[in-house]
Amino acid sequence: MKVAILQFPGTNCEYDTQHAFEKLGAKTEIIWHKEESIPSDTDLLVVAGGFSYGDYLRSGAIAKFSPVMKAVASYASKGGKVLGICNGFQVLTEAGLLPGALKRNDGLHFISQYHNLKVINNDNIFLEKLNNGDVVNIPIAHHDGNYFIDSDGLDELSKNNQILLQYTDANGEVKNPNGSVESIAGVCNKTKNVFGLMPHPERAMELLLGSDDGVKMLQGFMEA
């Protein structure tokens, strides 16, 4: 199992992501954004969190033109598995690899806290280790996490089981921290090989540090 992790100027979660996947037994490689290809033995490509290009213009807007992104689009179009976490999710929506967009949080504040998430659809490789309705506790840390999609797009997402995770309380009741449409925390593309979420499963790998619920999430990819 080989995980390639993208690094843009301003990415800051690449080493946490590397640690998380190595803990699960994967081989990892960090890929600088100037590369024009990704390693041919890549089983999973992760667009890690952070503040690529200082979030200038819009979060993820400039990163989508980095040389490596062409390789990412071609990898995804061939069915390669891609996971975008936080800023990685923003980059993937900007690049058109995932539907919707991430707006400034409704309360205008940067939010950094643990948050409960409910699994909405587990019929995909990312969440197959969890059951629909399961609640996991994963940190969020973002300023632009307010997921938006128009109502036709939302219907499409629901119809195709593309809504992955919803922000809730510990009982699975909707609790929306940032104003996201339908309290959405993560989605996937139609073909279910590109995944994006604002919460950080790679920061929830050790019970000692607050939660190890991230293990169950990332493990889905390990048996691919």
Residues 37-76 as x/- pattern, contact with another protein by CB under 8 A: --------------------xx--xx--x-----------
Q: Is residue 155 near another protein by the rule CB under 8 A?
A: no
Q: Is residue 2 near another protein by the rule CB under 8 A?
A: no
Tell me the two tokens of residue 195: 């995944």
Q: Is residue 166 near another protein by the rule CB under 8 A?
A: no
State yes or no: is 33 an active-site residue: no
CB 58, min distance to another protein, A? 6
Residue type, 191: T
Q: Which of residues 84-113 bind another protein (CB under 8 A)?
A: 93-94, 100-101, 103-108
CB 42, min distance to another protein, A? 27
CB 30, min distance to another protein, A? 26
State yes or no: is 200 an active-site residue: yes
Minimum CB distance to another protein smaller for 14 or for 144: 144
State yes or no: is 202 an active-site residue: yes
Minimum CB distance to another protein smaller for 43 or for 182: 182
3-class SS string, the chain: CEEEEEECCCECCHHHHHHHHHHCCCEEEEEECCCCCCCCCCCEEEECCECHHHHCCCCCCCHHHCCHHHHHHHHHHCCCEEEEECHHHHHHHHCCCCCCEEECCCCCCCEEEEEEEEECCCCCCCCCCCCCCCEEEEEEEECCCEEECCHHHHHHHHHCCCEEEEEECCCCCECCCCCCHHHEEEEECCCCCEEEECCCHHHCCEHHHCECHHHHHHHHHHCC
CB 59, min distance to another protein, A? 10
**Active-site choice (14, 33, 86, 188):** 86
Which positions lie near another protein, rule CB under 8 A? 57-58, 61-62, 65, 93-94, 100-101, 103-108, 146, 148-150, 179
